[in-house]
A and B are shown apart, each in its own frame.
Chain A
């Protein structure tokens, strides 16, 4: 049942590093994280890797497996060819701390910059009424497990460190879309802020984020594109522009 697999694991820290090769057994039904744990228990007791639930629910074990951003706990060993070497590296878009662990604090900073949900004061606890169909749009985005694979793969960040300052990234575009489509949220200028403060315009909808999302959230189609379209409506439609000036309403 057990077969041998060759793992090529990046080891190092912010200063230096390189690949270490190791061959370990892999059993039926195992995922990459199982094999990494076996390496840890038998070959490299100090191999740094983040993980929590091992069930695809917490989004901790994000790394790049054969160059692709993946969750190690949801990547089955039988998805590789017999005899194929499996290369694991830390997420490329974020600074390495040690081995497979990166500093993802960028994402927590960005989370702090997105205005929080605002509940209508007049609605006391228990009084809210919403239809299922109306909450479902935002619920899709609330499935996000914050694995940050979308952030890692997004080339606006991945290849351009300098963009990090002005670009929130796909994870936070779906957060903005979620609040924008929330039936009760009071803030009315979320789309405009997405454009002006969070760099929505820099996204050129290549859908890489959607492809890597382990929760299969349709980030580009259901969050980014609808927001982009409505920002354009607001900005360039002369009647809406005039309306916004006359009625002094902020945003849409």
Chain B
């Protein structure tokens, strides 16, 4: 057995499938693989049930037609393609639109409690870019409901295994607070994964013929972001290093409405439901500016005057939608233009006001977390006054190039990817609500794809001692870095901070060739400095040490974003605007 420099032996496990990431996509993949009879390891960087999915607010898009029976998968498909400026992988958009209703109903059979319509079915709400009310929701905490339901589904399956086999972890085991640093390969095929327990620093090697990446996004590479610390692009980087390819990386979604004040919460998400439920955007002159920003392709669907827009809330058959409900990229760019033109709010945002449309008690009921968030973090009562909001880095449409039907990563046999880490589904811009449904639809498909791949396999790849040794050496590197002078050593927190500043200002909403080239140069020099960032202290729960790995990944994805943006040679491809 190999012994690590951490002092203890490398823990070794054998599974059929290793799922990296325990958000909606990872857990749905695990359930599917388990139900196909496979043994599954679920790996999460934080505690079980804390994944970024928990922060999703508005809802899950599925054309169940509970509120407007004209809805159906074809309309959802069209909306998704139109929102993504037809740059989506059409097959993924088709599967997504067709299967999302079943995935939502399935959650209900696992105990989820969505808000209801008057006749007792799952209620659906309006959202930007969706023609009909389509988002199944639980107030504005839908992500929490989704993650808890999936988490409890995993527990239910473990309880069953305990009853049947006397061992709850016979088929599914959750490895919480474990970071994967490398995908292991054997003769071109995936053979497992290597990582370390965050708690102790102890090393772990998984031998498994299939690995599902469900690691989420990249938001922590940007300064103003709605993402939690976990969004460091781990899966993007792991796939790339394992020989996979990333597509559409220039498409980063800036959600139009993040908090702007106070500074410590800048970027925190203000759900699109605020607009779906009647919130309007105004500038410092008190004007509803969105009427000036309706692009040609949307003119038939969006009202060009306030009277019609207001009527829509009560009569959707005979009026066009208010332009506040345009897709996110349109609204974010409009807000950006207003601020740049000097019509911004006091703290550099614009105003979003729902207090004039809905009574206070309705706001508190429909948007409880928003009410809570503004009250507790900004001393603002949204039932009385407007919120100040501005664009925040929210989601990456780009990601691992996958086969639409099986979620298999192109070019790396045994590697699969689902959810935000996968690319293609959303084209150049994701519609609100299409993320939670994406997690479920493609999480399930990745689990099934992995199961099918494993079952068809004749000889399993193995993990060699040599592969483990090399992974160990990389893990040890941050502790062994020596600098000639103390003043030469680098602080990973400082480098991270500088990276965030540079992506924000040079690779943001509007990009120029000159700035992108500048960004690439600066990323290079940050990488050189990151290679000198030494981890202080020991291996046990050491955030400085953890950050050195996250930082490598963030530098890599930031470079991918800047490179993709540069290579799209002067073309404005919507969320990517040059």
Asked if B190 is at the interface (CB within 8 A of a chain A CB), the reply is no
Q: List the B residue with the shortest CB-CB distance to A34.
A: B264
Considering the complex, which residues of chain B in the window 449-506 have a beta carbon less than 8 Å from any beta carbon of chain A?
Answer: 491-494, 497
Distance between B349 CB and nearest chain A CB, rounded to angstroms: 14
Q: Check A125–B109 contact: CB distance below 8 A.
A: yes
Q: Check A117–B111 contact: CB distance below 8 A.
A: yes
Asked if A242 is at the interface (CB within 8 A of a chain B CB), the reply is no
Distance between B295 CB and nearest chain A CB, rounded to angstroms: 32
Tally of contact residues, A, Cβ under 8 A: 59
Asked if A45 is at the interface (CB within 8 A of a chain B CB), the reply is yes
- Select the residue from A42, A58, A132 with max chain B CB neighbours within 10 A: A58
Considering the complex, which residues of chain B in the window 370-425 have a beta carbon less than 8 Å from any beta carbon of chain A?
Answer: 372-373, 376-378
Considering the complex, which residues of chain A in the window 22-76 have a beta carbon less than 8 Å from any beta carbon of chain B?
Answer: 27-31, 34, 40-42, 45-60, 74, 76
Considering the complex, which residues of chain B in the window 211-268 have a beta carbon less than 8 Å from any beta carbon of chain A?
Answer: 228-230, 261-265, 268
Of B109, B176, B199, B497, which contacts A119 at CB under 8 A? Answer: B109
Q: Check A111–B268 contact: CB distance below 8 A.
A: no
Stretch at the interface among B48-56, B426-434, B515-523: B48-56
Provided the pairs A30-B262, A41-B491, A53-B228 are in contact, do residues A48 and B543 lie with their beta carbons within 8 angstroms?
yes
Provided the pairs A58-B55, A132-B116 are in contact, do residues A123 and B159 lie with their beta carbons within 8 angstroms?
no
Q: Check B543–A126 contact: CB distance below 8 A.
A: no
Q: Check B264–A116 contact: CB distance below 8 A.
A: no
Bitwise, A108-146 to B at CB < 8 A (1) or not (0) is: 100110011101000101101111100100110011111
Asked if A99 is at the interface (CB within 8 A of a chain B CB), the reply is yes
Report the Cα distance A57→B110, complex, angstroms: 22
Tally of contact residues, B, Cβ under 8 A: 72
Of A31, A104, A144, which contacts B264 at CB under 8 A? Answer: A31
SS class of chain A's interface: helix, strand, loop or mixed? Answer: loop
Report the Cα distance A28→B266, complex, angstroms: 12
Asked if B108 is at the interface (CB within 8 A of a chain A CB), the reply is yes
Report the Cα distance A47→B493, complex, angstroms: 13
Asked if B9 is at the interface (CB within 8 A of a chain A CB), the reply is no
Q: Check A117–B102 contact: CB distance below 8 A.
A: no
Provided the pairs A55-B268, A129-B119 are in contact, do residues A45 and B113 lie with their beta carbons within 8 angstroms?
no
Asked if A97 is at the interface (CB within 8 A of a chain B CB), the reply is yes
Q: Check B50–A52 contact: CB distance below 8 A.
A: yes
Asked if A191 is at the interface (CB within 8 A of a chain B CB), the reply is no
Report the Cα distance A146→B152, complex, angstroms: 13
Q: Check A56–B119 contact: CB distance below 8 A.
A: no
Distance between B498 CB and nearest chain A CB, rounded to angstroms: 12
Asked if A227 is at the interface (CB within 8 A of a chain B CB), the reply is no
- Chain B residue numbers with a CB within 8 Å of A13 are 540
Asked if A101 is at the interface (CB within 8 A of a chain B CB), the reply is yes
Considering the complex, which residues of chain B in the window 30-57 have a beta carbon less than 8 Å from any beta carbon of chain A?
Answer: 46-50, 52, 54-55
- Chain B residue numbers with a CB within 8 Å of A128 are 108-109, 120
Asked if A218 is at the interface (CB within 8 A of a chain B CB), the reply is no
Q: Check A115–B102 contact: CB distance below 8 A.
A: no
Stretch at the interface among B138-146, B279-287, B310-318, B338-346: B138-146
Q: List the A residue with the shortest CB-CB distance to B49.
A: A146
Q: Check A182–B543 contact: CB distance below 8 A.
A: no
Of B153, B265, B536, B538, which contacts A29 at CB under 8 A? Answer: B265
Distance between A174 CB and nearest chain B CB, rounded to angstroms: 12
Asked if B121 is at the interface (CB within 8 A of a chain A CB), the reply is yes
Q: Check A115–B159 contact: CB distance below 8 A.
A: yes
Asked if A185 is at the interface (CB within 8 A of a chain B CB), the reply is yes
- Chain A residue numbers with a CB within 8 Å of B535 are 45-46
- Chain A residue numbers with a CB within 8 Å of B119 are 129
Distance between A3 CB and nearest chain B CB, rounded to angstroms: 14
Q: Check A76–B102 contact: CB distance below 8 A.
A: no
- Chain B residue numbers with a CB within 8 Å of A125 are 102, 105-106, 108-109
- Select the residue from B144, B153, B535 with max chain A CB neighbours within 10 A: B144
Report the Cα distance A52→B143, complex, angstroms: 15
Q: Check B48–A108 contact: CB distance below 8 A.
A: yes
- Chain A residue numbers with a CB within 8 Å of B264 are 27, 29-31, 34
Asked if B76 is at the interface (CB within 8 A of a chain A CB), the reply is no
Q: Check B369–A97 contact: CB distance below 8 A.
A: no
Of A48, A52, A57, A146, which contacts B542 at CB under 8 A? Answer: A48
Q: Check A112–B536 contact: CB distance below 8 A.
A: no
Q: Check A112–B268 contact: CB distance below 8 A.
A: no
Of A115, A135, A145, A179, which contacts B144 at CB under 8 A? Answer: A145
Asked if B155 is at the interface (CB within 8 A of a chain A CB), the reply is yes
Report the Cα distance A131→B153, complex, angstroms: 24
Q: Check B46–A116 contact: CB distance below 8 A.
A: no
Q: Check B541–A98 contact: CB distance below 8 A.
A: yes
Asked if B148 is at the interface (CB within 8 A of a chain A CB), the reply is yes
Q: Check A57–B144 contact: CB distance below 8 A.
A: yes
Q: Check A123–B109 contact: CB distance below 8 A.
A: yes
Q: List the B residue with the shortest CB-CB distance to A104.
A: B47
Q: List the A residue with the shortest CB-CB distance to B536.
A: A45
Q: Check B265–A126 contact: CB distance below 8 A.
A: no
Q: List the A residue with the shortest CB-CB distance to B534.
A: A45
CB pairs A–B below 8 angstroms (15 shown): A28-B263, A30-B263, A46-B535, A46-B538, A46-B545, A48-B541, A52-B54, A74-B376, A97-B541, A98-B541, A112-B155, A126-B105, A129-B121, A143-B141, A182-B113
Minimum-distance CB pairs A-B, first 4? A29-B262, A117-B111, A46-B537, A129-B120
For the A-B complex with A29-B264, A45-B492 known, give 7 more contacts whose Cβ atoms are closer than 8 Å.
Answer: A29-B265, A52-B50, A52-B54, A57-B54, A60-B47, A74-B377, A112-B155
